[in-house]
């Protein structure tokens, strides 16, 4: 068994011919650029590209395989240099059983599975060439089709106020929309962590995954997990999500929930925190709010007694969040030490201070140790790292 890093939620911004896929994502997020960034810069062993349902993306992947730059693995996934690509898709559900729209992820072992699934999708959505499209079928029907192609089904960023199962999709229970037995894991999202999510009893039977939901190359691997597997492949990940045969999630690495965009309940009028979500804002008088993840989880929490044993959730501050680390400094660090995973987890403080100012090196070490001072985010605004270390 070996240790592998995995980020399972990365968008494609555009195809090689310049056609938009995820409209809100950077155009530099092409299939090839993502694979190079994951392999050579980020140090990510498994990357889930969740716009692989797009036919032009599939054609690009076929071309990489035909040219021998990439190869399909017998146990699922496509190998490119030091990284395995998992074929994924993000879709939006808003059926009669939903309170509002919600997003889900699905992953498939082989390109032919994804191609067949895409053919089925063409009859269920308006534009197969775009990301995160609404499918006009019930949630359980979508689950069954994913399983027909031997896929994995994972509700995405489950507490986000907009387009998530608990944030906008259901009143109380995931059972309102989905068949629980056909869920393979749940994705926590940037404003929550394991401790918060385990307050909800119905989640105790699922593995938690933490992913970046990257809309640009620098955002890749801002959240990820460390896995214990025999190899970086689809089937090995599937076993890890079920804790089978010694495969397992060793740790989740994610933003401290304070750094997420939706931790606090905030006023939509002026953006300040609303300690009491009901009534007018004490600052501007408006009544509309964006309910924070912390507030929503408190409403849903019903777990009493012993909680399941889980891998540690390690609050990770991405290098781009740390004051003093801009693009030029990040390039210097990578030239000296290799990938971001190496810098975040393994490089000694004395080595760091040879390349960057001591103050900045201390902030990296504080981020690693969880001792940075933070200001919580909300209402779509990220939290911030203070330029000091907690005692």
**Distance between CA atoms of residues 69 and 2, nearest Å:** 24
Domain boundaries, the chain: 2-257
- Looking at the predicted structure, is the pLDDT value of residue 141 above 90? yes
pLDDT at residue 212 in the model: 96
**Cβ atoms of 257 and 375 closer than 8 Å:** no
| Beta-carbon-side half-sphere exposure of residue 184 (alpha carbons within 13 Å) | 23
**Cβ atoms of 321 and 385 closer than 8 Å:** yes
State the pLDDT confidence band at 132, using cuts at 50, 70 and 90: very high
Report the pLDDT averaged over residues 151-167: 96
Report the pLDDT averaged over residues 163-172: 96
- Looking at the predicted structure, is the pLDDT value of residue 388 above 70? no
pLDDT above 70: percentage of residues in the chain: 99
Query: Which tens digits make up the pLDDT trace of 290-337?
Result: 999 999 999 999 988 788 999 999 988 888 888 889 889 999 999 999
Q: Please list, in sequence order, all residues whose beta carbon lies within 8 angstroms of the beta carbon of residue 223, skipping any fewer than 6 positions away.
A: 7, 190, 210, 211, 212, 213, 252, 253, 254, 255, 316
- Looking at the predicted structure, is the pLDDT value of residue 389 above 80? no
- Looking at the predicted structure, is the pLDDT value of residue 367 above 90? no
pLDDT at residue 371 in the model: 81
**Cβ atoms of 8 and 48 closer than 8 Å:** yes
Integer-rounded Cα radius of gyration of the chain: 21
pLDDT at residue 390 in the model: 53
Kindly state the tokens that stand for 69.
């730059």
pLDDT at residue 82 in the model: 95
Among the listed ranges 58-62, 244-248, 354-358, which one has the minimum average pLDDT value?
Answer: 354-358
- Looking at the predicted structure, is the pLDDT value of residue 164 above 90? yes
pLDDT at residue 387 in the model: 58
- Looking at the predicted structure, is the pLDDT value of residue 240 above 70? yes
pLDDT at residue 376 in the model: 83
User: Looking at the domain that runs over 2-257, which CATH code has it been given?
Assistant: 3.20.20.140
Backbone φ and ψ for 126, nearest 5 degrees, come out as: -90, -30
**Distance between CA atoms of residues 354 and 213, nearest Å:** 33
- Pick from 375, 194, 161, 374: nearest CA to 262: 161
Higher per-residue confidence, 257 vs 239: 239
pLDDT at residue 391 in the model: 52
State the pLDDT confidence band at 219, using cuts at 50, 70 and 90: very high
Backbone φ and ψ for 254, nearest 5 degrees, come out as: -150, 165
Report the pLDDT averaged over residues 60-87: 97
- Please provide the average confidence, as pLDDT, over all residues in the chain: 93
pLDDT at residue 56 in the model: 98
Query: Which tens digits make up the pLDDT trace of 175-190?
Result: 999 999 999 999 999 8
């Amino acid at each position: 068994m070996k240790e592998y890093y995995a980020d399972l939620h990365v968008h494609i911004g555009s195809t090689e011919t310049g056609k938009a896929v995820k409209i809100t994502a950077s155009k530099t997020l092409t299939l090839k650029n993502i694979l190079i960034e994951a392999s050579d810069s980020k140090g990510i062993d498994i990357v889930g590209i969740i716009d692989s349902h797009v036919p032009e993306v599939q054609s690009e992947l076929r071309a990489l395989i035909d040219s021998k730059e990439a190869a399909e693995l017998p146990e699922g996934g496509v190998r490119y240099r030091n990284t395995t690509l998992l074929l994924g898709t993000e879709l939006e559900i808003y059926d009669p059983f939903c309170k509002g729209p919600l997003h889900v992820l699905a992953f498939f072992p082989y390109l032919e599975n994804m191609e067949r699934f895409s053919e089925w999708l063409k009859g269920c959505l308006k534009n197969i060439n775009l990301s995160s499209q609404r499918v006009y079928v019930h949630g359980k029907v979508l689950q069954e089709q994913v399983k027909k192609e031997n896929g994995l089904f994972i509700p995405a960023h489950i507490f986000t106020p907009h387009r998530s199962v608990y944030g906008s999709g259901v009143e109380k229970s995931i059972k309102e929309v989905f068949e629980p037995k056909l869920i393979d894991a749940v994705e926590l999202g940037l404003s929550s962590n394991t401790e918060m999510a385990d307050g909800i009893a119905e989640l105790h039977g699922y593995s938690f995954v933490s992913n970046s939901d990257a809309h640009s190359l620098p955002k890749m691997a801002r959240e990820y997990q460390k896995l214990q597997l025999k190899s970086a492949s689809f089937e090995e990940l599937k076993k890890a999500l079920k804790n089978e045969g010694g495969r397992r999630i060793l740790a989740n690495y994610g933003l401290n929930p304070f750094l997420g965009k939706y931790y606090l309940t905030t006023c939509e009028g002026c953006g300040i925190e609303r300690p009491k979500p009901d009534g007018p804002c004490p600052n501007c008088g408006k009544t509309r709010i964006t309910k924070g993840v912390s507030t929503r989880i408190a409403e849903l929490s019903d777990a009493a007694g012993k909680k399941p044993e889980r891998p540690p959730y390690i609050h990770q501050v991405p290098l781009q969040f740390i004051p003093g680390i801009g693009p030029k400094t990040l390039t210097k660090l990578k030239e000296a030490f290799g990938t971001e995973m190496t810098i975040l987890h393994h490089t000694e403080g004395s080595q760091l201070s040879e390349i960057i100012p001591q103050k900045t090196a201390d902030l990296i070490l504080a981020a690693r140790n969880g001792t940075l001072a933070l200001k919580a985010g909300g209402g779509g605004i990220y939290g911030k790292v203070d330029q000091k270390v907690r005692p």
